[in-house]
Chains A and B, each alone.
Chain A
């Protein structure tokens, strides 16, 4: 059986590799593609798109482009595929949906020369900016979503500029996501370190018991634990009752819907994720280092600062990185216990995907989230010389 171990190994690995390639890597690639693909104009108005691409982009396009626009819009309305293209253009400039629908409905009544009849219907057709916008949306690739996801946009002439301040959402959102994730990571590492150190220092069966108490929440659902906080933090819920009972509060206060609730619940949910890698590293530490230090007369504080802390650092970094990676993509917990100023990037991704049906924006936000996660993984590698795969 060991005659061709490599072949056998490859055969054993192949099915899973195919699955991961097909159901994970490829989908991520599709997301990257979705973030930069512009296909609505080309697929709904193919002839217009081709004519506009041939146009020099100055003044107004030639009559055939006007004619193609009128015909293809009417056809798209009739065949019911005008929604995608009108939403796509309306996303870049408000008013485009109304313009396209009005033109499509009037389509059969319009007559040549269309370069005159379209502007007569709506003066926007006499504005080169309208045509430039459509030409730019004729793809095949676009930076629109990636720009918008960072609160940038393009002028009709294609220059990048920041969106109006009253439209800016996403930079604040990313900063907030980063900030919340950092706070949660810090809290998890600070709270988790003593537990990890205790697990490593205790003897069986106490060490196993402590580990069990970390694994239990680790294996119970994130949703279950977030729901628990949601129930406990209600205005008439147990936490408020306890605080009033203890005399810390005069009357119950609002807890659900606050940033504090988000931080508390998220840190609680992610704490085991921080503890496990730290405990893994600390359990492998050679206790003789500490013993030697102790025999040389070093007190507990010195032993902690000079030996345990530096030696546990790889575990701390791995635990912090795992916590941070999960925190930046957190969805349920902030959605359940957070208020309107506490939602993170993931909430907007879900919103764009399920409610607004704006897949380009959902994909663009995902791309930046991936970049953030990749940067953290790369930083970890830089600091420890190891990747996450080797973390326990």
Chain B
């Protein structure tokens, strides 16, 4: 059969250009030497990156983001991988309901999730605390882990586990020696997704972060509202670069 219709390709290319152009423009603009933004830029400078790296507020926000992201990654990967294994092993009747429950946080309007967590967490003293923020991020990050691990489990041959068992291997050994080596790329990709989700999350952070607990997106928002400096563009570009690396990592893991 012939390839796709040229018209389709042209349309797709135009839309893809529209998708990527703003981000690329921001990356280019982040190297601007002046506060007024010109395209193409009139010269190059690392001024705004230097500002980002030396300004206490941005450094603190970066540190906060990394702390929260790491905690979210560990918790979400652990809980999500276990749950995916459970879903894979048990072909029980409530499976559909559980899957639906897992995906609910993805389809509930974020503002509602965030407001709800604020209400409930204030009742038990979790609102405006670091553990509360981590919990909130885990809820929206964990579906990605489950989906990623489930996908890698779907290509795993359960016969291997049975074979290991019939050879007398205790279950934990069969898991460790047979199952884990096969599905770890899925788990690792899930971990990357979880970290990326937390790093980019904004609305839940806005409500759950303690006053003064600024993460990168929150710091960016605070700055944009007040006074637009190109430092924000430098921060955006760095976050964009991070997403790019995450995506490369998950693609590499997927191919394993």
Contacts and interface: CB of A to CB of B under 8 A. Distances in A.
Interface of A: 1-2, 5-6, 8-13, 15-17, 19-20, 23-28, 30-31, 34, 191-192, 194-195, 197-199, 201-203, 210, 212-217, 219-225, 227-232, 234, 236-238, 241-242, 268, 271-272, 287, 290-291, 294, 300, 322, 325-326, 328-332, 336, 345-346, 349-350, 353-354, 359, 362-363, 366, 369-370, 373, 377, 387-389
A240 to B, nearest CB: 10
Interface string B5-35: 1001101100110111011011001000000
Contact of A34 (B9, B15, B99, B119): B119
Interface in B188-220: 196, 199-200, 202-203, 206-207, 217, 220
B39 A216 contact: no
Q: Tell me the dominant secondary structure on chain B's binding face.
A: helix
Contacts of A16: 79-80, 82-83, 102, 142, 146
Nearest to B13: A198
Closest 7 CB pairs of A and B: A329-B109, A9-B90, A1-B171, A12-B86, A221-B200, A27-B120, A201-B4
Interface string B117-133: 11111010000000000
A312 to B, nearest CB: 12
B8 A223 contact: no
B111 A350 contact: yes
Given A8-B89, A219-B196, A231-B29, A225 B37 contact: no
B112 to A, nearest CB: 5
Report, as a range, how many residues of chain B touch the other chain: 35 or more
Nearest to B217: A223
Interface string B239-255: 11001101100010000
Given A198-B4, A362-B115, A213 B236 contact: no
Given A30-B123, A271-B15, A220 B86 contact: no
Contacts of B99: 389
Contacts of A231: 26, 29, 37, 228, 232-233
A43 B187 CA distance: 49
B16 A366 contact: no
Given A219-B246, A230-B224, A238-B29, A20 B202 contact: no
A34 B175 CA distance: 46
B16 A227 contact: no
Given A1-B161, A215-B247, A221 B199 contact: yes
A353 B244 contact: no
Contacts of A24: 104-105, 113, 116-117, 139
Contact of A20 (B19, B101, B200, B221): B101
B80 to A, nearest CB: 7
B1, B22, B142 interface centre (most CB from chain A within 10 Å):
B22
Contact of B36 (A13, A198, A236): A236
Contacts of A13: 82-83, 86-87, 90, 98
